[in-house]
Structure 1
Amino acid sequence: MSTAASTPLFACSRCFSRHPFEELSPGEQLCKECRGLFPVVKCTYCRSEFQQTSKSNTSSICKKCEANVKLYGKPTACEYCNTIAAFIGNKCQRCANSERKYGAAVTCEQCKQRCAFDRHDDSKKVDGKLLCWLCTQSLKRALARTKQHLSVDKHKHRGHKLSSHKDKRKSDMMKSKNSGDSLNESQPSEKKSKLNPLQGELDPNSSDHVVAMTQLKETIASLQKKVQQKEMELLSKDKLITELKAQHHNNTTDLRNEMKNKERMNETKFTLMNTKIQNLLKEVATLSKSAKKNNKNTKSLLSNTENSGSGTDSPSTN
């Protein structure tokens, strides 16, 4: 009683009932009953898990990302992990903090992308592998599910063993009462067949089946991540092609306009030159006509002068 009284209790953030700290969920601080009322979902942006706390609000965006969307707008893809969570710059906050603490990113051993960060601590590795945050969370969930299924299988095996022991005791009691050997031999075989209806068939809850399913899910998730990365690369290439086409169209239009302007200027200059030539030709013709008239006048004056000179000399000789 004194031990229970000395243990500190913490209130659930929804129903305000008090529980030990380890019984409350991380982040939202919900008790087991409140956790069962609302589903655990992944954030659309940062891909971290969080629990919805209201049936009316079924948003798949965590509170931190909602606040960042209000401050910075919708995020872009992180250049390392490819999650749509880069609100500032081209890196998400998780990768930016890891790069600042542990240095440049390295290749993840699971998804083969350059999005893991080496902490130089083997205890931080999952199953001895250096993984990125997304693959680490995925593998931890897979190991937790496998552990849970193994515990369920172990519990079922214990129950089956206990049931077989009880049936064996009943069969022994029947053997002591009945004297027929054939009947005594047939009853245990029938009971064994009833107790093992799935004998020879694949048990969907077996550990091997669970591990295989987990590996397939992880492979599918990795392939989906690669497909998403390829789609983003294609989109960026399409965007670059569109920009280049637009630039080419603008350059072609500018060249055409420049050629038209030059042609227009040349035509204007040609017209002005033709007009100037015509005017000069007219001036030359006018000058030639005036020169001819001047020549005629000069000749007539000279002839008149000669005639008048000859007339004055004749009387003086007489």
Structure 2
Amino acid sequence: MSTAAATPLFACSRCFSRHPFEELSPGEQLCKECRGSFPVVKCTYCRSEFQQTSKSNTSSICKKCEANVKAYGKPTACEYCNIIAAFIGNKCQRCANSERKYGAAVTCEQCKQRCAFDRHDDSKKVDGKLLCWLCTQSLKRALARTKQHISAVDKHKHRAHKSKGGHKEKRKSDMLKLNASDSSHGDQPLEKKSKLNPLQGKSFYLLLGELDPNSSDHVVAMTQLKETIASLQKKVQQKDNELLAKDKLITELKAQHLNNTTDLRNEMKNKDRLNETKFNMMNSKIQNLLKEVATLSKSAKKNNKNTKVALANTENSGSGTDSPSTN
């Protein structure tokens, strides 16, 4: 059997050409020609992976989010998944579409947040668990790393087997010993058997998950912490903005109160001045009227006196003409 036939080949997820597993990129499973010389990065907002296409443009924002930022401004945290990707409303486009398609969100079995959507299809579940999009992606990357590690171990064993082709008898004796050891520990629990031979069963996956600092749990925890920090920072910023708005309102109310007080004082002063002016005018009018009354009284007295004198003179003149005729 040739070397090419002995080495398993895997398909590129973009062009579907077949290559050895170690030549494909982790996560995206892209060949060298598809991924080129540019790295695959995560979008700062929607957290989806995309490949940079230019050395001059090293932005960590995908084209879709970049267009949304230009159209709607910077996004806010999604009320379901807490990803900073809610450009319109309080939900990111991914959660809004899933809610419209599958109904209300449910609790994710990994991160325990209410950000998963039940598709009512067991084939869509990862390892039989109902997970949110972030946990699904993290678990898939962890499984890909585990498979890559297992492939490397198998390749190493294959090379060791070829290098020790002349020692078949010794290898047979070792295998007999290994089988005897397995049979002697057959009554022991599965956990102990996995410690004796960690390459058996699914315990190897669990062991790799515990030893790998980039395992699904760690990645999910780090992602959730980052999103929580971003959400808390946003809330702090909102509270600061609210406090600034309240301080501004208080300042405006104080200024309005001061203006109202000043206007009232000026109005009272104007009214006092007007009342004083009216009071002086009335006093002056009263004085003039009193003078008129006095003048009229004096004229009336003088007229009465002249009338009396005239009457007296008339009487005197009448009595003087009658007396000779009487004699």
> Per the alignment, in what secondary structure is the counterpart of residue 187 of structure 1?
coil
Task: Describe the superposition over 1:124-164 as per-residue Cα deviations: whole angstroms up to 9, x where unpaired.
Answer: 00011100000000011011101111113553465267378
> Structure 1 CA distance, aligned partners of 2:289 and 2:58?
91
Deviation at 1:37, TM superposition (A): 1.3
Contact 1:43–1:62, Cα closer than 8 Å, also in 2? yes
Deviation at 1:194, TM superposition (A): 25
Structure 1, 233-242 or 79-88: larger mean CA deviation? 233-242
Contact 2:77–2:231, Cα closer than 8 Å, also in 1? no
State the number of aligned residues: 317
> Structure 1 CA distance, aligned partners of 2:257 and 2:154?
67
Name the CA shift for 1:191/1:266 in 2 (closer, same or farther; >3 Å): closer
Name the CA shift for 1:101/1:44 in 2 (closer, same or farther; >3 Å): same
- Structure 1's unaligned 5+ residue stretches are none
Structure 1, 185-194 or 243-252: larger mean CA deviation? 185-194
Contact 2:76–2:86, Cα closer than 8 Å, also in 1? yes
Task: Describe the superposition over 1:286-305 as per-residue Cα deviations: whole angstroms up to 9, x where unpaired.
Answer: 99999999999999999999
> Structure 2 CA distance, aligned partners of 1:228 and 1:273?
66
> Structure 2 CA distance, aligned partners of 1:214 and 1:101?
26
Contact 2:139–2:216, Cα closer than 8 Å, also in 1? no
Structure 1, 184-193 or 29-38: larger mean CA deviation? 184-193
Contact 1:142–1:214, Cα closer than 8 Å, also in 2? no
Contact 1:153–1:206, Cα closer than 8 Å, also in 2? no
Structure 1, 129-138 or 143-152: larger mean CA deviation? 143-152
Structure 1, 133-142 or 307-316: larger mean CA deviation? 307-316
Name the CA shift for 1:73/1:181 in 2 (closer, same or farther; >3 Å): closer
Name the CA shift for 1:159/1:60 in 2 (closer, same or farther; >3 Å): same
Name the CA shift for 1:91/1:213 in 2 (closer, same or farther; >3 Å): closer
> Structure 1 CA distance, aligned partners of 2:213 and 2:304?
130
Contact 2:84–2:227, Cα closer than 8 Å, also in 1? no
> Structure 2 CA distance, aligned partners of 1:268 and 1:231?
55
Name the CA shift for 1:42/1:191 in 2 (closer, same or farther; >3 Å): closer
> Structure 2 CA distance, aligned partners of 1:183 and 1:27?
40
Contact 2:142–2:214, Cα closer than 8 Å, also in 1? no
> Per the alignment, in what secondary structure is the counterpart of residue 46 of structure 1?
coil
Contact 1:28–1:51, Cα closer than 8 Å, also in 2? no
> Per the alignment, in what secondary structure is the counterpart of residue 128 of structure 1?
coil
* Percentage of pairs with the same residue: 90
Deviation at 1:224, TM superposition (A): 13
Deviation at 1:51, TM superposition (A): 1.1
Contact 2:22–2:148, Cα closer than 8 Å, also in 1? no
> Per the alignment, in what secondary structure is the counterpart of residue 222 of structure 1?
helix
Name the CA shift for 1:214/1:291 in 2 (closer, same or farther; >3 Å): same
> Per the alignment, in what secondary structure is the counterpart of residue 167 of structure 2?
helix
Name the CA shift for 1:246/1:305 in 2 (closer, same or farther; >3 Å): same
CA RMSD, Structure 1 to Structure 2 (Å): 9.9
Structure 1, 271-280 or 120-129: larger mean CA deviation? 271-280
Match in the other structure for 2:194: 193
Match in the other structure for 1:242: 251
> Per the alignment, in what secondary structure is the counterpart of residue 321 of structure 2?
helix
Q: Is residue 2:167 matched to residue 1:165?
A: yes
Deviation at 1:269, TM superposition (A): 17
Task: Describe the superposition over 1:79-115 as per-residue Cα deviations: whole angstroms up to 9, x where unpaired.
Answer: 0000000001100000000000100000000000000
Structure 1, 235-244 or 29-38: larger mean CA deviation? 235-244
TM-score when scaled to structure 2? 0.47
Deviation at 1:165, TM superposition (A): 3.3
Larger RCO: 1 or 2 (CA < 8 Å, sep 6+):
2
> Structure 2 CA distance, aligned partners of 1:132 and 1:216?
16
Deviation at 1:21, TM superposition (A): 17
Task: Describe the superposition over 1:19-44 as per-residue Cα deviations: whole angstroms up to 9, x where unpaired.
Answer: 99999999999752351511111100
Name the CA shift for 1:33/1:225 in 2 (closer, same or farther; >3 Å): farther
Structure 1, 48-57 or 252-261: larger mean CA deviation? 252-261
- Structure 2's unaligned 5+ residue stretches are 201-208
Contact 1:164–1:195, Cα closer than 8 Å, also in 2? no
Structure 1, 29-38 or 105-114: larger mean CA deviation? 29-38
